[in-house]
Amino acid sequence: MGMTASQKILAAHAGLNSVRAGQLIMAEPDLILANDITGPVAINEFKKAGAKCVADRQKIALVMDHFVPNKDIKSAQQCKMCRDFAAEQSLPNFFDVGNMGIEHALLPELGLVGAGDLVIGADSHTCTYGALGAFSTGVGSTDMAAAMMSGKCWFKVPSAIKFDLCGQTKRYVCGKDVILHIIGLIGVDGALYKSMEFTGGGVASLSMDDRFTICNMAIEAGAKNGIFPVDGNAREYMKGRFTRPIVSYEPDPDAEYEKVYNIDLSSLKPTVSFPHLPENAREAGSWGDIKIDQVVIGSCTNGRISDMRAAAEILKGRKVAKNVRVIIIPATQEVYRQCIKEGLAEIFLDAGAVISTPTCGPCLGGYMGILAEGERAVSTTNRNFVGRMGHKSSEVYLASPYVAAASAVTGKLSAPDEI
């Protein structure tokens, strides 16, 4: 039986000719990632084990993004521990205030991840890099510590589900709508510990930012990873960023898939996930009258420049509805800078929104937009569990930047063509 793209990447990094679903292997990651929440746990385990030096300092990235700039003493201590460790180990890929960004937007932007890579990160949304044709997945902080010490990590080879995409999305429909539709179709455990492999003629119509968004939320379907083929769009994105050789792994013709889903992109509508699970997806026209208190546009899911442009397209010349707070968070310094250059920042400010420095902030209920009792938010983030962004009685509606911006203008959950 042939191998999927994900299985080929794992086999190559394990030094094996082939692997099969369910097999346990040891492989060598190309990049090992942590942030200011998970990094300190890994560092403590690293030191507890008596380790003195990391196996390869070039392969470790520490990104301060969750509570940065620091919101309190505890978060400051967390960052200081990472900062001290990076200095002690002479880690070149340490990113702090001034040169940081939300990790899963920053690392592809800097070319630290690319096609054919094996990437592990002590953050569940590490699966984002599958957009570039990498096998990337989240791990626990203890596995992170072991990988820093040994340069290796264990894996259970996943089986796969194929999503055959055709057609192209209509206006105001983007990658966020695609993945919310898919999660609504298969459920939050529909791809449990499996690879979500995206193929078909429709792939070419999806921008790289669309693909990053789709792979980012693979974990919300329970997947081990999500992965796209390395096509011209991916190569163009990596050009001038990714300096290592581009390695493209194609699935074998006889690769085994547990299921195959056919998705016609042209049939999709703006989609929102209602509380309190990403699988509660509803298309425009079935939302009802949902008044909101806050809108958040940003995160590792939808904080890239195309997301900023989408929001600005809707907000230009319009005002945020009375009693609605709108928080816009560019995912990296470069995205922030581009917002200023293109005049997007002025559009946001004129509309009545606020703009934050890059940070995960409110996505995980951290800071910069916590919800009070009974409040509702439309957010371009990736999770809407009970209490995710604040009080346990608050509600989060997951949406695209188009829908989020339209809702900000109307003061209720709205599709872009309704304003």
Q: Give the count of domains, the chain.
A: 2
Rounded Cα distance between 277 and 187, Å, is: 9
Backbone angles phi, psi at 123, to 5 degrees: -165, 130
Average pLDDT over residues 43-59: 95
Torsion of CA 10, 16, 20, 22, to 10 degrees: -70
Phi first, then psi, for residue 312 (nearest 5°) are: -65, -35
Whose tokens are 């939050």? That residue is 188
Assess whether 146 and 280 both reside in one domain: no
Q: Residue 377: exposed, middle, or buried by beta-carbon count in 10 A (0-12, 13-18, 19+)?
A: buried
Pair 109, 238 in one domain: yes
pLDDT of residue 271: 98
Q: What is the pLDDT of residues 67-119, one digit of tens each?
A: 999 999 999 999 999 999 999 999 999 999 999 899 999 999 999 999 999 99
Question: What pLDDT, in 10s, does the model give residues 140-151?
Answer: 999 999 999 999
Rounded to an integer, the average pLDDT of 389-393 is 95
Confidence of residue 419 (pLDDT cuts 50, 70, 90): confident
Q: Given a cut of 80, is residue 257 above it in pLDDT?
A: yes
186 and 218, same domain (yes or no): yes
| Tokens representing residue 125 in the block | 């949304």
pLDDT of residue 103: 96
Could you tell me the pLDDT band of residue 323, with boundaries at 50, 70 and 90?
very high
Tell me the pLDDT tens digit for each residue of 115-138: 999 999 999 999 999 999 999 999
Query: CA 370 to CA 388: how far, in whole Å?
Result: 9
Q: Are residues 256 and 325 in the same domain?
A: no
- Phi, psi (deg, nearest 5) at residue 155: -140, 145
Report the alpha-carbon distance of residue 398 to residue 59 in Å, rounded.
33
CATH of the domain at 162: 3.30.499.10
Could you tell me if 223 and 306 lie in one domain?
no
Sign of CA dihedral 289, 398, 379, 336: negative
pLDDT for the residue 258: 95
Do 9 and 89 fall within a single domain?
Answer: yes
Which tens digits make up the pLDDT trace of 399-418? 999 999 999 999 999 999 98
Residues 218 and 329 in one domain: no
| Same domain, residue pair 315 and 375 | yes
Q: What is the pTM of this model?
A: 0.95
Given 233, 248, 264, which residue is the final one in a domain? 264
pLDDT for residue 1 is more than 80: no
Which is nearest to 399 in space by CA: 419, 377, 372?
A: 377
- Indicate whether 248 and 300 sit together in one domain: no
pLDDT score, position 418: 85
- The whole-chain average pLDDT of the chain stands at 96
Which residue, 264, 281, 313, sits at the end of a domain?
A: 264
For residues 356 and 354, give the distance between their C-alpha atoms in angstroms, rounded to a whole number.
7
Q: Does 202 lie in the same domain as 164?
A: yes
Query: How much is the average pLDDT of 204-227?
Result: 97
Q: Kindly give, in sequence order, each residue whose CB lies less than 8 Å from that of residue 87, ignoring residues fewer than 6 positions away.
A: none
Which domain, by its residues, includes 277? 271-418
Indicate whether 244 and 288 sit together in one domain. Answer: no
Do residue 350 and residue 249 come from a single domain? Answer: no
Phi, psi of 109 (to 5 degrees): -60, -40
Task: Among 200, 230, 264, identify where a domain stops.
Answer: 264
Whether 400 contacts 381, CB under 8 Å: no
